[in-house]
């Protein structure tokens, strides 16, 4: 990984329960309950989140605008506006914005446990890069 790529990655979890500005973009919690959370995620052009795994929740991502490069397990794909993907529990995943306009994604998290300590980031990121 180049120094430029490393600078553009975030140590902040994409699915953070706290709304706010991140240097890669922003997260807004739209609604949440005991077993679900809906986030509006905006990722700046040429930025991405670090790979992560959740063991007790799944995620469903719907692209609202822009293009998403999604890596989920061994699969890599590009999603455009009005396309979606499902991230099962216990699956290494990441999303990046390879484009020139902001990427906006609605993220629906669903699971029996929504705590931030259910996030694991592998130290060897070469598996997903």
Asked if residue 90 has pLDDT above 80, the reply is yes
Sign of CA dihedral 36, 74, 121, 8: negative
User: pLDDT averaged over the chain?
Assistant: 85
What is the reported pLDDT for 123?
62
What is the reported pLDDT for 11?
39
- Looking up residue 109, the CATH number of its domain turns out to be 2.60.120.10
Query: Does residue 51 contact residue 71 with C-beta atoms inside 8 Å?
Result: yes
What is the reported pLDDT for 125?
44
List, in sequence order, every beta strand (DSSP E) within the chain.
Answer: 9-10, 20-22, 25-32, 36-43, 48-49, 53-54, 57-65, 68-72, 75-79, 84-87, 93-96, 103-111, 119-120
What's the total number of domains in the chain? 1
Percent of the chain at pLDDT exceeding 90? 68
Asked if residue 5 has pLDDT above 50, the reply is no
Show the domain range for 80: 3-127
Q: Which tens digits make up the pLDDT trace of 24-83?
A: 899 999 999 999 999 999 999 999 988 999 999 999 999 999 999 999 999 999 999 999
């Amino acid at each position: 990984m180049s120094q430029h790529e490393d600078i553009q990655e975030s140590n902040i979890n994409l699915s953070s329960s706290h709304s706010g500005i991140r240097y890669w973009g922003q997260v807004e919690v739209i609604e949440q309950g005991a077993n679900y959370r809906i986030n509006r995620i905006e990722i700046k052009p040429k930025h991405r989140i670090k790979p992560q795994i959740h063991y007790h929740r799944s995620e469903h991502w719907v692209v609202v605008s822009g293009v998403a490069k999604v890596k989920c397990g061994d699969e890599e794909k590009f999603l455009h506006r009005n396309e979606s993907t499902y991230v099962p529990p216990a699956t290494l995943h990441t999303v990046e914005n390879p484009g020139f306009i902001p990427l906006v994604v609605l993220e629906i998290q669903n699971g029996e446990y929504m705590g931030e300590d259910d996030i694991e980031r592998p130290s060897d990121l070469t598996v997903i890069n």
